Each structure stands twice: as C-alpha cells, then as structure tokens.
C-alpha cells in the first residue's frame, strides 16, 4: 500500500490529518511511501501520528487488533513504570531524598 499527502488530506474515514502532520509527512516522505516496517518506524521516529493513520486506514478487524495490542502494551509499560512507586505507597514507606 502506498500513502501520499492526498491520502492524508482525504482519508477513507474522513478525519483529515492536521496541517502540521501533512507538512511533516511531506518533509519525511516527499514522494509518499510504501507501508513497510522501516517506514512505520521512520514515521514514528519523526513524530508522525501512526495511531491516527491506523484509525483512518486499517480495516475494522485490523484496527481492533491494533487497538487491543496498543492498549495492552501501554498498560504493561505503565504498570512497570509505576510498580515501585505504587508498592512504596501501599506499604506506607518513605523514600530518602
């Protein structure tokens, strides 16, 4: 699948990309791009909203799977990041500065 600026300006579900994202996409992929693993990583690295793209372009089944995986990954990362703080708080312990 190839993605172009025109696709961002008139996506299938109708929620047009904001102008900042269109400009960033144009700067990153001047001729558009094929959807590949490398290009998805590049898009994420430069700050393109790949979540928006998924919501606009994936099939309903693929979008559901993406959202389930993204939610599970985000929850796991949050729990890992806050586990020590939560445990310290639950035990009523004080941390030394």
Q: List the chain domain ranges.
A: 1-57, 60-97
Distances (CA, A) of 84 to 3, 76, 89, 91, 96: 43, 14, 9, 11, 14
Cβ(36)–Cβ(1) below 8 Å: no
Residue stretches of the chain with pLDDT short of 50: none
CA distance 42 to 40: 5
pLDDT in the model for residue 2:
93
CA distance 14 to 52: 11
Q: Is the pTM of this model over 0.85?
A: no
pLDDT in the model for residue 22:
93
pLDDT in the model for residue 13:
78
CA distance 84 to 51: 29
pLDDT in the model for residue 80:
86
């Amino acid at each position: 699948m190839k993605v172009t600026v025109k696709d961002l300006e008139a996506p299938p579900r109708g929620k047009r990309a904001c102008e900042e994202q269109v400009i960033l996409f144009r700067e990153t992929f001047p001729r558009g791009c094929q959807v590949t693993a490398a290009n998805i990583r590049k898009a994420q690295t430069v700050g393109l909203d790949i979540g928006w793209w998924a919501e606009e372009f994936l099939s309903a089944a693929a979008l559901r799977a993406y959202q389930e995986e993204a939610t599970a990954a985000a929850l796991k990362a949050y729990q890992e990041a806050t586990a020590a703080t939560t445990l310290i708080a639950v035990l009523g312990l004080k941390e030394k500065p």
